[in-house]
Amino acid sequence: MLKQELETLRERALAAVNGAPDTASLENARISLLGKKGELTAILKQMGTLSPEERPVMGALANEVRADIESALEKASAVMSERELAKRLEDEAIDVTLPGTPFRAGRRHPMQLVLDDVVKIFLGMGFSVAEGPEVETTYYCFDALNTGPDHPARDPQDTFYFDADTILRTQTSSVQIRVMEQSKPPIRIISPGKCYRKDEVDATHSAHFHQIEGLAVDKGLTMADLKGALQTMMTGLYGEGVKLRFRPHHFPYTEPSAEVDLQCFECKGAGCRMCKGEGWIEMLGSGMVHPAVLERCGIDSEVYSGFAFGVGIERLTLMRYKINDLRLLFENDARFLKQF
Amino acid sequence: MKCSYNWLMELVNLGGVTPKELARALTMSGSKVETVTELGAEIQNVAVGRALTVEKHPDADRLFVCSVDVGDGTPRQIITAATNVFPGAVIPVALDGAVLHGGQKIKTGKMRGLESQGMLCSLGELGLDEHDQPGADADGILILDETFPVGADAAEALMLRDVTIEFEITNNRPDCLSVVGLARETAATLGALGRGGDHPARLPATHEAVSRPQDGDIAQYLTVAVEDQALCPRYSARVAKDIQIGPSPMWMRRRLRACGVRPINNIVDITNYVMLETGQPMHAFDHARVRDKTLTVRPARPGETLETLDGKPRILEPSMPVIADGRGPTAVAGVMGGAGSEITEQTAVIVFESANFHGPAVRKTALSLAMRTDSSSRFEKGLDPSSTLPALERACYLVEELGAGTVVSGVIDICASFSPPVKVPFTQDKIERHLGVTIPNLNALLESLGFAVEGDSAVVPPWRRDVTIWQDVAEEAARLFGYDNIPVTLPPSRNQGWLTGPQRLRARLNELCVSLGFDEMLTYSFIGPADFEAAHLPAQNAKKIHNPLGEEQSMMRTSLLPSFLKALSVNLSARNPEARLYEVSKVYTDAGGQLPLETYRLVLGGYGGGFDYFALKGAAETLLGRFCRNEAVFAKTASYPVCHPGRCASVSLHGRDIGFIGELHPSLGFPAGAAAGELDVEALLEAARPDAVFSPIPRFPAISRDLALVCPKGAAAADVLGVIRKAGGAMLEDCALFDVYAAKNSLAYRLTFRAPDRTLTDEEADGAIARILKKLKESLDVSLRS
């Protein structure tokens, strides 16, 4: 009799559990079947009326029914929550092609990006960064650099003067002198910074420009070393395969002197509009430090030699980013600054 | 320096090297070629012809029908509108298929029913003007003289074909401002390359002096005095008489033109030709107009004036060397002659001047008179005094060669002491160690440039005054050896390169600004008085440039703010909806010494996209917090008139004022919320703590309490916070403002309490809150909102 009830309960319970439409009806089924006031409990309450022989048999059957119901509940619940999660995820779907929330990241100025690269390249070659004043004495900017009182570079039409002895430096080479006066070889410095020449502003000129000057003084430095240092710089900036051309030139503070041209990226030397048909683009001036410059700084030019170079950061930058007008560098239009 | 390729070819064996190859080779040996321009190359198929008949066109009033012999036995019928062609005239004829100057193509065609088998050419159609072909009618057909052979190629016969090579000659090489000098370089360069370039076969400057006593003596014509030999180390002069002024020969005119000089007349052309050839400037005076027959080289006297050859009156200054005759200046020495003694059609006797003037004096004179000439630009670089006589003799030779006159015997040559040849000691080893390469043919290279090697010395040729030390000799060898043949080695590494502390910190400051969303700008260091005014900044500590490009760039900035405002305006006028800009750069403050103080500042700010005072302050707080790990104090201030008086704060660190932040004053016209701040970077660097000190992560829980406070009007949040902090003591880990209810003067804070070594009890937190509220009431009359 009891056995019959248990079997019927199992059958009904499994049907109810498997047919439950949602989590709530499943929970209701659990309570009505297995709860304290549930049907199974009600049946088990009748166990007391059984004979001692029947009791263990019925007890075992009751446990078996309970286990079956519980396992069915568990299975149904798992299926159901999976289904409900799937529905929720579907409801939560978004248009992933909508634009992201704007996030503001600032930019370094292109000139600074180039300068930072040059600094890193030279730090790697054992150079340090030296700085000096931009408002400079004529001694450091001219006399000490073997540029005598009659040299045209000193003309007021080329150089900004505050008074007869005070100018805006026309090159960062003045820093070389200050460094050589204060330290003994070996010296390896680059000095980046602002320089000023009285040029009217146009697409390729600015009265206010930036230079990196390099100086190495040591025993046994050669012109071949100068070529190596500059090749390393240009390769670092523009990549493998960069071709340099060293051309004799004249500067009062170096001997021998060389101008350095970079083979045009566009035409590989054949000549095109970018290089004005020359195949090469003039990049910088360089040379072996003139002995008079060394001696003036108290360095024995028969023992030590050195090389020096000066390169315009504007030119390096225009080349690197293919910018066609130098004035853009100083206008600070956000539409320009945002591009780098 | 423009140089004729034909002229160069006359002086040196070019061994079949094309102008372009030559240009490349000379560029690499130090004479940089700027341009190579072919002259007359486009003119094709133009013949010298002779008009046989000239008749009126039957159907056109203004046209003529010519029958022209072009030397091939088949006369051409050519129609022309020109009126100056006559039977027998020798004329240039563009044949069928000809190309003229400017690329104009000529084909057989019909004109008013009659065939025209070509075209008769004018000067312009051949690329010439009246100066190239004196006496020719500029508007009609070019009538040639009988010496032109009928049937010849007209471009050849008129010597139109040449190549102009334009060089950029460096200041140390005035010797290369001459065809002879460039020929020398060419010979050495091609020789070093093994491509011919024999030594100049003939240096035409070294002609025998013309001297015939029967033609009189210069002493009868002229006396010369040099007052100041420092201004004029050498003055040489000769006289020529029976002068017939006329055009110079065609070959000379063409060469002058190829070198960029306009032909004028035979005497003037000779002076220019000799200058181009030898590099020694020459001048010719009309002897009849040299007053008192005397020339004196002296500084100008106060108040003296002179009308120069270009017809302009010049006011002379005592620093300027002049050539004076018996009455006053008649030439500006080394720069330009005077109109008073100019060569004219009537000139019968001339004085040739070939002098050496002090370079710097000539340069300064030319500069202050604003007339840099071919002559002055040579003198200013320092010429070889020994070249005056050969040039003078060359000019005299040409006078007679051209049949322009008769040279008078005798030379006036006033000369300071002659310096012996310069000997520069050098060793091959030194040079090779300097260059980093061995040069086996070192001596031969030097000798090819005119140096003599005597033992351990190089004897410098007189035209090479720039060579004085062995490093100069090294350069001579290196440039012929080829810079490209010097190996590429890395300088041996001896030490690690470092950035200094301040350099690293400035780099970090830049990183922080960028990470906060600001774009780096780059601005000029000099600004104008109007910029100071616009930023309401005093300008008294600004260094003033004596010779600025303009007033707007005449002062060194003492603040970055004016530059920032300008950049902001640029963005505003570009209609950029927003901008966030910063710059770490120098300002220059006159502190009384020769050089101003140069210190770094940081300027940052922007407009648009929700930017306002608090956005800027947030950025500044983050920046200062990260950079200095110290809370800067922001205090209300009205001392920056560029800012909104109610929206500006001074910033201080450790009690030191380091700058300000604020909204820009509405009167400046920027969009609402536009804000800017400027901070003293030197102070930031001093306060910087780049290396963080780790503090342990808390192991015990915190207790939070929210306080809504009512403040009296005008109370500053910073003061409230200060009291809370102080009263909260060590337990108070954080106090964050989370709401401002301005209408009720209410501030709401979330306070976080924590102890590092235990879990706090609610009682402890409540006790702290009570203390805080008590202090707030006592010191600021702030109470809990009810």
pLDDT digits (tens, 9 = 90+) for B643-690: 999 999 999 998 899 999 999 999 999 999 999 999 999 999 998 876
Determine which of A221-235, A251-265, B246-260, B413-427 has the lowest per-residue pLDDT on average: B413-427
The CATH number that applies at residue A163 is: 3.30.930.10
**What span, in angstroms and rounded, lies between the C-alpha atoms of B46 and B40?**
11
The residue range of the domain holding B188 is 2-40+163-192
Q: Is residue A97 in some structural domain?
A: no
Q: Is residue B199 in some structural domain?
A: no
Tell me the residue type at B226: V
Are A56 and A120 members of one domain? Answer: no
* Nearest-CA distance A174 → chain B (Å): 14
Q: Is residue A170 in some structural domain?
A: yes
Are A189 and A268 members of one domain? Answer: yes
The residue range of the domain holding A77 is 2-92
Tell me the residue type at A336: F
Tell me which chain B residues have a C-beta less than 8 angstroms from the C-beta of A109.
519-522
Q: Give strand ranges (E) for B2-127.
A: 2-4, 32-39, 44-56, 64-69, 76-80, 90-99, 105-106, 109-111, 114-116, 118-120
Are B373 and B271 members of one domain? Answer: yes
Query: Is the Cβ pair A160, B499 closer than 8 Å?
Result: no
Q: Is residue A58 in some structural domain?
A: yes
pLDDT band at B765 (very low <50, low <70, confident <90, very high): very high
Determine which of A30-34, A217-221, B116-120, B367-371 has the lowest per-residue pLDDT on average: A30-34
Query: Is the Cβ pair B475, A166 closer than 8 Å?
Result: no
Which pLDDT tens digit goes with each residue over B489-520?
998 877 788 899 999 999 999 999 999 999 99
The CATH number that applies at residue B720 is: 3.30.70.380
Are B156 and B167 members of one domain? Answer: no
Number of domains forming the structure of chain B: 6
**What span, in angstroms and rounded, lies between the C-alpha atoms of A47 and A52?**
10
- The pLDDT assigned to B199 comes to 57
Query: Among the three residues A92, A123, A155, which one is the final residue of a domain in this structure?
Result: A92
ipTM of the complex: 0.85
% of chain B residues with pLDDT over 90: 81
Tell me the residue type at B491: P
User: How is residue B326 written in tokens?
Assistant: 């018996």
Residue whose token pair is 């829980």: B701
Query: Is the Cβ pair B435, A223 closer than 8 Å?
Result: yes
Q: Is residue B592 in some structural domain?
A: yes
Query: Among the three residues B653, B687, B721, which one is the final residue of a domain in this structure?
Result: B687
Are A304 and A262 members of one domain? Answer: yes
Q: Is residue B64 in some structural domain?
A: yes
User: How is residue B529 written in tokens?
Assistant: 């008085």
Bond before A256 cis per omega within 30 degrees: yes
Tell me which chain B residues have a C-beta less than 8 angstroms from the C-beta of A307.
491
Q: Is the pLDDT of residue A265 over 90?
A: no
Chain A contact present for B516, CB below 8 A: yes
Tell me the residue type at A209: F
Mutant choice from A155, A157, A160, A215 vs B, greatest count of B C-beta within 10 A: A160
Chain A contact present for B570, CB below 8 A: yes
Q: Decide: B167 and B159 in contact? Cβ < 8 Å.
A: no
The CATH number that applies at residue B619 is: 3.30.930.10
Query: Among the three residues A57, A92, A127, which one is the final residue of a domain in this structure?
Result: A92
Are B131 and B262 members of one domain? Answer: no
Tell me the residue type at A155: D
The CATH number that applies at residue B321 is: 3.50.40.10
A321: Cβ–Cβ under 8 A, 6 or more apart, which residues?
A110, A339, A340
Chain A contact present for B472, CB below 8 A: yes
Q: Decide: B210 and B308 in contact? Cβ < 8 Å.
A: no
- Arithmetic mean of pLDDT, A227-253: 94
Count of residues making up chain A: 340
Q: Is residue B201 in some structural domain?
A: no
Q: Is residue A103 in some structural domain?
A: no
Burial of B355 (C-beta count, 10 Å sphere; 0-12/13-18/19+): buried
Are B751 and B659 members of one domain? Answer: no
| More confident: B418 or B698 | B698
Chain A contact present for B483, CB below 8 A: yes
Are A235 and A157 members of one domain? Answer: yes
Query: Is the Cβ pair B546, A229 closer than 8 Å?
Result: no
Are A84 and A147 members of one domain? Answer: no
**What span, in angstroms and rounded, lies between the C-alpha atoms of A215 and A126?**
11
Q: Is residue B622 in some structural domain?
A: yes
Q: Decide: A162 and B543 in contact? Cβ < 8 Å.
A: yes
Are B577 and B628 members of one domain? Answer: yes
Q: How far apart are the first and last CA of chain A?
A: 88
Which residue in B367, B475, B574 is closest to A248 by CB distance? B475
Q: Is residue A98 in some structural domain?
A: no
Pick from A20, A137, A144: nearest CA to A73: A20
Are A295 and A332 members of one domain? Answer: yes
B104: Cβ–Cβ under 8 A, 6 or more apart, which residues?
B125
Chain A contact present for B488, CB below 8 A: yes
Q: Is residue B694 in some structural domain?
A: no
Are A177 and A297 members of one domain? Answer: yes
Question: Which SS3 state, helix, strand or coil, does residue A200 take?
Answer: coil
Cβ atoms < 10 Å from Cβ of B738: 10
**What span, in angstroms and rounded, lies between the C-alpha atoms of B155 and B266?**
23
Q: Is residue A195 in some structural domain?
A: yes
Mean pLDDT of chain B: 92
- The pLDDT assigned to A2 comes to 79
Are B82 and B96 members of one domain? Answer: yes
pTM above 0.80, yes or no: yes
Q: Is residue A314 in some structural domain?
A: yes
Q: Crossing angle for the helix pair B179-192 and B19-28, nearest 10 degrees?
A: 80
Are A164 and A237 members of one domain? Answer: yes
Are A55 and A119 members of one domain? Answer: no
- The pLDDT assigned to A30 comes to 87
Handedness of CA A219, A222, A225, A230 (dihedral sign): positive
Query: Among the three residues A92, A119, A149, which one is the final residue of a domain in this structure?
Result: A92
Are B580 and B440 members of one domain? Answer: no
Q: Is residue A104 in some structural domain?
A: no
- The pLDDT assigned to A151 comes to 84
Chain A contact present for B573, CB below 8 A: no
Q: Is residue B205 in some structural domain?
A: no
Query: Is the Cβ pair B433, A330 closer than 8 Å?
Result: no
Q: Give the phi and the psi of residue A49 in degrees, each rounded to 5.
A: -80, -5
The CATH number that applies at residue B103 is: 2.40.50.140
Number of domains forming the structure of chain A: 2
Question: Which SS3 state, helix, strand or coil, does residue B113 take?
Answer: coil
Which pLDDT tens digit goes with each residue over B546-575?
999 999 999 999 999 999 999 999 999 999
Q: 3-state SS string over A79-141?
A: HHHHHHHHHHHHHHCCCCCCCCCCCCCCCCCHHHHHHHHHHHHHHHCCCEECCCCCEEEHHHH
Are A200 and A296 members of one domain? Answer: yes
Determine which of A237-251, B360-374, B688-702 has the lowest per-residue pLDDT on average: B688-702
Question: What would you report as the CA-atom Rg of chain B, rounded to the nearest whole angstrom?
Answer: 42
